[in-house]
Amino acid sequence: MRYAQLLFLAGLVAAATLLAGGASAAPATQTSGKTLVFCSDMTYPPEESIVNGKPVGSDIDIGREIARRLGMTATFDNTGFDGIIAALLGKKCDAIISGMNDTPARAKQVAFVDYIKVGQSIMVKKGNPLKINGVAGLSGRTVSVEVGTTNKDFLAAESKKLKAAGKKAIDVVAFPKDTDAANALKTGKVDAYFGDSPVVAYYIGRDASFAFAGSPVNPIPVGIALRKGDPLIAQVRKAVNAMYADGSMVKILAKWKMSATALKK
């Protein structure tokens, strides 16, 4: 669950290079009638990542389907998450689709069209050698997260509660990429990883050395972010509602093993 705050520049140049060889690279411009440009941090599988030079994931499929229903073609600008809202407000893209939680703080800056609801989970080494079962079990432990995310904010708040109760704080270590945060657990640099439940499930499905610890917590809506007052808001909301009505949203989520994240409509 991510949280964008800081201005991001250099990553936009790198993103264009990454995407140029696969599906057409997204231009850093507003919609020109037929192109819908999404900002997306491509380090968050299964929602968005780069595979063989091309953007793939549930958010990529959802973004493409929304664009199709608007009579447009979707392109994706690989943008670092800690500057993704700044990129949208600076008109480097038309919308953000990047596993972004719809929170009151973000809603002060952008408008949201919610499309799924996601909880957060703890990931540990297989066999859970440290016997971590829930957030309270992270007291005194080192936990990796992606920088600028609500995962990081949530753990910081829980750490304060633990300290107030006379227990050890959680040592939260932030990494620039979520994949780096997960790898920190694999290489023994941290005791646990904390992220969105579908992302944890993806990592566990790909690597038998990982396992869940406890049950998901803190479910929060995830939304497509747009500039306030943009006519696209109503159009995107209509497309999302139609995708739920005809089953195409559920089909996409099932493809990426994210059926549990579907909104109850």
Which residue shows structure tokens 């306030």? 228
∠ CA(92), CA(196), CA(186), 5° rounding? 105
Q: Is the predicted pLDDT of residue 95 greater than 90, yes or no? A: yes
Find, among 221, 1, 230, the residue nearest to 95 by Cα: 230
Are residues 105 and 228 part of one domain?
yes
In a domain, 246, yes or no: yes
Any domain includes 148 = yes
Task: Examine residue 5 and state whether it is found in any structural domain, yes or no.
Answer: no
201 and 253 co-located in one domain: no
How far apart CA 206 and CA 224 sit, in angstroms, is 27
Indicate if the pLDDT at residue 199 is higher than 50.
Answer: yes
Same domain, 62 and 124: no
Average pLDDT over residues 46-63: 97
Calpha distance 48→189 (Å, rounded): 25
pLDDT digits (tens, 9 = 90+) for 63-84: 999 999 999 999 999 999 999 9
CATH number at residue 225: 3.40.190.10
Structural domain total, the chain: 2
pLDDT grade for 3, boundaries at 50, 70 and 90: very low
For CA atoms 160, 165, 171, 175, the dihedral sign is negative
Provide the pLDDT for residue 129.
Answer: 96
Q: What is the pLDDT of residue 11?
A: 39
Q: What is the side-by-side order of every strand in the sheet holding 171-175?
A: 73-78, 35-40, 95-96, 210-226, 111-125, 192-196, 142-146, 171-175
Q: What is the rounded CA–CA span in Å between residue 94 and residue 103?
A: 20
Please check whether residues 229 and 253 belong to one and the same domain.
yes
In this structure, the answer to whether residues 233 and 250 fall within a common structural domain is yes
In a shared domain, residues 17 and 103 = yes
Task: Report the b/e string of 137-174 with b at 16+ CB within 10 A.
Answer: bbbebebbbbbbbbbbbbbeebbeebeeeeeebbbbbb
**Using an 8 Å Cβ cutoff, are 116 and 122 in contact?**
no
- For residues 19 and 112, membership in a common domain is answered with yes
Q: State whether 163 and 257 are in the same domain.
A: no
Contact assessment for residue 218 and residue 230, using Cβ atoms and an 8 Å cutoff = no
pLDDT band at 14 (very low <50, low <70, confident <90, very high): very low
Check residue 148 and give its pLDDT: 86
Does residue 113 sit in the same domain as residue 225?
yes
Domain range spanning residue 156? 118-219
On whether residue 2 sits in a domain, the answer given is no
Residue 3 falls within a domain, yes or no? no
Asked if 174 and 80 sit in the same domain, the reply is no
What is the token pair recorded at 51?
């595979």
Q: Are residues 23 and 109 in the same domain?
A: yes
20 and 136 housed in the same domain: no
**Bridge partners of 76?**
38
